[in-house]
Amino acid sequence: MFDVCILGMGPAGLSAGIYAVRAGAKTLVIGGADGALSLAKRIDNYFGIATISGKDLLDAGREQYLALGGETLEAEATAVEMAPNGFLIHTSNETIEAKAVVLAMGKGRKKPGLTGEDTFLGRGVSHCAVCDGFFFKKKRVGVIGCGAYAASEASQLLAFTPDVTVFTDGKQPECAMPCAVRADKLTSVVGEARLSGIETADGETIPLDGLFIARGTAGASDLALKLGVPTDNGTIRVDKDGMTALPGVFAAGDCLGGLCQVSVSVGAGALAGQRAAEYVRQKNEVRA
């Protein structure tokens, strides 16, 4: 059990970790060590540092966080759910329990969709198995994706129907899948009032009642959606303390929208980490 679990190992997540640890919280930061910032060759607009690479800046932040006693886990968070004592964070390999969560994963990698994908959103196409799986009991459903996020969505759907297929859209699966897999290159989503199937590059139409989009990795707004946290065009709404509408769930970084800069992410992360630690402390005092 951690006091604060932070999802995202970028500047927002590590900054949140630093402030949470310094506030006395047992803290875990989950994420990959090769985020978008690590690809930046030169940063010359960060306060107090004339020039630095994104990788060096991230490495320094990670070392600072670890030196304070924080813990890290290099893994992909695929889902978050409420639990009696807080939250359960599911990764591709394990489940972690925490009293508060900070979403700092950015907006995720959204690759170009299929023709008609947006047209049928809400009419057979969904971005959330937890939210909409119930409506496809004993139906034929597909999941588009090839990684751990797609596998997690497929597992959620198998609770409602045995007829689940993961479509990797011409790519090799990146992990074991819990259901049937097809590697067909896809071109479009088809139907009339509702989705009725998907078409492949070979001209085949595969009948489906539902299609769940799980390309790339889950972003902060994807996990917020599963928790019922309000979002607005892919950005997460927070109050003055960086907390979402769900008590105990905070957010920081690019997922908040606005100016996507390292300095902004660091500031938002500091606020979310500090307030998350205070939230846990107040909850502990009430229980005591």
Q: Kindly state the average pLDDT of the residues 9-17.
A: 96
pLDDT category at 287 given cuts 50, 70, 90 is confident
pLDDT for the residue 203: 94
Classified by CATH at the fold level, domain 125-213 comes out as: FAD/NAD(P)-binding domain (3.50.50)
pTM for the full predicted model: 0.85
pLDDT for the residue 35: 72
Highest mean pLDDT among 22-36, 113-127, 156-170, 213-227: 156-170
Give dist(CA 178, CA 276) in Å, integer.
35
Highest mean pLDDT among 105-114, 242-251, 253-262: 242-251
pLDDT at 109 over 70: no
Q: What share of the chain in percent tops pLDDT 90? A: 76
Burial class for 55, CB neighbours closer than 10 Å (0-12, 13-18, 19+): middle
Give dist(CA 131, CA 179) in Å, integer.
20
pLDDT category at 231 given cuts 50, 70, 90 is confident
SS3 content of the chain, % helix, strand, coil (to 5): 30, 30, 40
pLDDT at 157 over 90: yes
CATH number of the structural domain 2-109+218-287: 3.50.50.60
153: three-class secondary structure by DSSP:
helix
Give the Å distances, CA to CA, from 239 to 27, 92, 188, 251.
22, 31, 39, 10
pLDDT at 23 over 90: yes
Summarised one tens digit per residue, pLDDT across range 167-199 is 999 999 999 999 999 999 999 999 999 999 999
| Portions of the chain given CATH number 3.50.50.60 | 2-109+218-287, 125-213
Give dist(CA 159, CA 101) in Å, integer.
26
Asked whether 16 and 228 are in contact (CB, 8 A), the reply is no
pLDDT for the residue 110: 57
Q: Hey, CA dihedral for 14, 237, 136, 195, is it positive or negative?
A: negative
pLDDT at 112 over 60: no
Neighbour tally for 187: CB within 10 Å = 16
Q: 191: which strand partners? A: 195
pLDDT at 57 over 60: yes
**Mean pLDDT of all residues belonging to the chain:** 92
